[in-house]
């Protein structure tokens, strides 16, 4: 999948990639091949960069892209089974309904910023947002904080990249087993649940009816798996060669 400045394969899915090709929480939407978006815990994010080698995702809240005064009023929360924080980021609480560091012209609602997850306290509302600790602006620099939010923050994906590489090098396609919700290797000649693809046996000689019948039975039972394999493998091939 491609968006402007974004190039993604497993563990993402969406558009031409089947849900079996990625982690359920990592559906990626590309609009006009230009903007990549995703929802995480009901919060909309713009995908700014994907580092597939290190499994790091840089995202920005969609509401943050228009400034501090149009929040969705939902905290940024992440499933710990899928995401983990990275060094160089921390949580900030933006508190609204109190005259403080900034004032919103839209509704004359002011607010201030506190480090950590503090909640609204005596104020009306609060929003918990991770930010990058690189080049933090002075606390009074309102435009600086808006720019910081637009630059986004990083999270690390909990994916067994080594297992996926072993799968790919055995001519398989890394995906998710929908029954177990675990990483699996889709292969054209075997059922899911494998770590790598088995080496195909040499073709049977003409007239070996019993072996052909066994092969037909095997292919029939692996039909659903084969469909998932084809969808994931074609996209993995395209992505690996930059087509």
Q: What is the pLDDT of residues 155-201, one digit of tens each?
A: 999 888 888 888 888 888 888 887 777 888 888 866 666 788 887 66
The proportion of the chain whose per-residue pLDDT surpasses 90, expressed as a percent, equals 22
The backbone torsions φ and ψ at residue 47, rounded to the nearest 5 degrees and listed phi first, read -90, 115
What is the pLDDT at residue 192? 60
Dihedral class, residue 97 (left if φ above 0, else alpha if ψ from -120 to 50, else beta): left
Chain mean pLDDT for the chain: 76
Asked if 52 and 40 touch (Cβ cutoff 8 Å), the reply is no
Over residues 44-51, the mean pLDDT reads 93
User: From CA 216, how far away is CA 134, in angstroms rounded?
Assistant: 59
Residue 210 has pLDDT above 50, yes or no: no
The whole-angstrom distance between residue 156's C-alpha and the CA centroid of its chain comes to: 9
pTM for the model: 0.75
What is the pLDDT at residue 97? 77
Please give the full DSSP string across 100-122, using - where no structure is assigned.
Answer: SSEEETTTTEEEEEEES----TT
Q: Please, which pLDDT band fits residue 143 given cuts at 50, 70 and 90?
A: confident
Cα angle for residues 231, 7, 174 (degrees, 5° grid): 35
Q: 223-240 and 209-221 helices cross at what angle (nearest 10)?
A: 80
State whether the Cα torsion 212-214-215-221 is positive or negative: positive
């Amino acid at each position: 999948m491609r968006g402007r400045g974004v190039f993604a394969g497993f563990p993402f899915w969406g558009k031409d990639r089947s849900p079996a090709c990625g982690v359920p929480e990592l559906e990626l939407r590309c609009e006009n091949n230009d903007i990549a978006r995703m929802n995480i815990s009901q919060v909309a994010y713009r995908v700014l960069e994907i580092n597939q080698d290190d499994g790091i995702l840089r995202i920005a809240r969609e509401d943050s892209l228009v400034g501090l005064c149009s929040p969705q009023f939902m905290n940024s929360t992440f499933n710990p089974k899928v995401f983990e924080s990275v060094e160089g980021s921390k949580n900030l609480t933006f508190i609204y309904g109190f005259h403080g560091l900034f004032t919103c012209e839209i509704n004359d609602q002011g607010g201030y910023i506190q480090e950590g997850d503090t909640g609204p306290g005596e104020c009306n509302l609060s929003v918990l947002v991770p930010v990058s600790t690189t080049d933090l602006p002075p606390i009074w620099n309102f435009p600086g904080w808006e720019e910081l939010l637009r630059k986004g923050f990083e999270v690390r994906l909990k994916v067994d990249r080594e297992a996926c590489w072993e799968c790919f090098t055995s001519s398989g396609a890394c995906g998710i087993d929908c029954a177990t919700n675990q990483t699996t290797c889709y292969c054209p000649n075997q059922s899911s649940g494998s770590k790598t693809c088995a080496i195909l046996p040499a073709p049977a000689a003409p007239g070996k009816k019993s072996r052909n019948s066994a092969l037909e039975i095997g292919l029939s039972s692996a039909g659903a798996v084969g469909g998932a394999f084809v969808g994931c493998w074609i996209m993995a091939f395209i992505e690996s060669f930059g087509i």
